Structure formats: C-alpha cells, structure tokens
C-alpha cells in the first residue's frame, strides 16, 4: 500500500476518494453522514492547498485509491495533532487498518515530529476504539452528547498516545509489525 498526498493524486484518484467517503458504512462512522457532493468535495480539496494544519494522504493499492489517512489540528508549537482514517468497506477486516495505524504512528512520531497524537471516535464504533487501544492509545475521556446527527445526540470517545508510549508499544508489537512490513 502506498501513501500519496491527496493533492498530488490524479483527478480520478481524488474522485475515488469521494466515492469511498460516500460509502454508507464509512458515512455511518463520521460526524456528518450526508452524501458529499462533487462541489463539496472540490471545495474541501481547494481548502487543503493552503491549510498548514492538515495533511491528507490517499491510500493507494495498485494505483487505486482505497482509503484516506489524515493529520489535522497540527500544532507545531506543542507538537500535537489529531488523526483519522477510513478504508474502502470491501477491504475492511483484512488487516489493512492495522497497517495504516502502524504506519501513521511511525510517521507521526518520526517524520512529522509529533510528541502527542489524538483521535476522536463515535462511542458506538467500538471496533475502531479497540483497534486504537491495541496500538497503545489510551481513552482520555468521553464528550457526552457531543455530536448531533439525524436528530440524535452521540457521545465521542477521546483517545491519545504519546511518542514514548508508542515506542514502548511498538517494541511489544514487533511480531505483528514485522508481518505487516513483509506484506507491504
């Protein structure tokens, strides 16, 4: 699997990212679950050009976009950021989420120079919460009734991991990370 800055992707790869984001199972786990129009997607892509607080990568397999990973709310002074990802629903359950998470953690605490990484997950999305915990993220709290979606108030679970915590966890996960690296 390759990572390519989304703005460096071809128009067809960028269009495929919108298709992936609009998959019902992907939308279900997002803060906003409406279908993203071409116009909305184009406006979002344009907003990334000058946004120094966000880095968005397309995940490519055989040059086909299969997902997105992003760092947002990047704070260079405090060396923190938030992150999120999604994958083509037809590829879920094949270990790609673990590969994305491991590579993102290495990138965040390596090349990106971060000291702390955060994420937010809708409370009902327990498989993703468990995935983050497997990689060493700690639940730092819950924002109760944080999101309103479809007339419902939803809780959001806050998770975080520090550079030191990842280094300790990474060493413990060496066999899994070795398998993922061989597959890449």
H or E element at residue 168:
helix 163-172
**Quick one: pLDDT at residue 29?**
94
Mean pLDDT value across the chain: 94
Domain 2-183 part of CATH 3.30.465.10: no
pLDDT in tens, 65-120: 999 999 999 999 999 999 999 999 999 888 889 889 999 999 999 999 999 999 99
| Strand partners of residue 148 | 153
Name the region of 23 (left: φ>0; alpha: ψ -120 to 50; beta: rest): beta
**Quick one: pLDDT at residue 164?**
97
Indicate the pairing of strand 64-75 with strand 138-149.
unpaired
**Quick one: pLDDT at residue 179?**
75
pLDDT at 36 over 90: yes
Is the distance from CB of 64 to CB of 16 less than 8 angstroms?
yes
pLDDT at 169 over 70: yes
**Quick one: pLDDT at residue 174?**
80
pLDDT at 54 over 70: yes
**Quick one: pLDDT at residue 183?**
65
Average confidence (pLDDT) over 31-51? 96
pLDDT at 184 over 60: no
């Amino acid at each position: 699997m390759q990572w390519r800055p989304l703005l460096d992707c071809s128009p067809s790869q960028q269009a495929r990212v919108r298709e992936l984001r609009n998959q019902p199972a992907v939308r279900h786990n997002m803060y906003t679950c409406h279908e993203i129009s071409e116009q909305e997607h184009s406006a979002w892509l344009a907003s990334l050009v000058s946004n120094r607080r966000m880095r968005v990568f397309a995940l490519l397999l055989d040059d086909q976009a299969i997902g997105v990973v992003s760092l947002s709310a990047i704070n260079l002074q405090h060396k923190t950021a938030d992150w999120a990802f999604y994958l083509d629903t037809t590829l879920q359950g094949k270990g790609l989420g673990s590969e994305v998470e491991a590579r993102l953690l290495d990138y965040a605490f390596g090349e990106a120079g971060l000291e702390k990484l955060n994420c937010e997950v809708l409370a009902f999305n327990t498989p993703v919460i468990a995935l983050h915990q497997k990689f060493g993220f700690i639940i730092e709290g819950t924002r109760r009734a944080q999101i309103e979606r479809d007339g419902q108030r939803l809780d959001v679970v806050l998770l975080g991991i520090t550079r030191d915590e990842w280094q300790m966890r990474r060493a413990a996960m060496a066999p899994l990370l070795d398998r993922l690296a061989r597959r890449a």
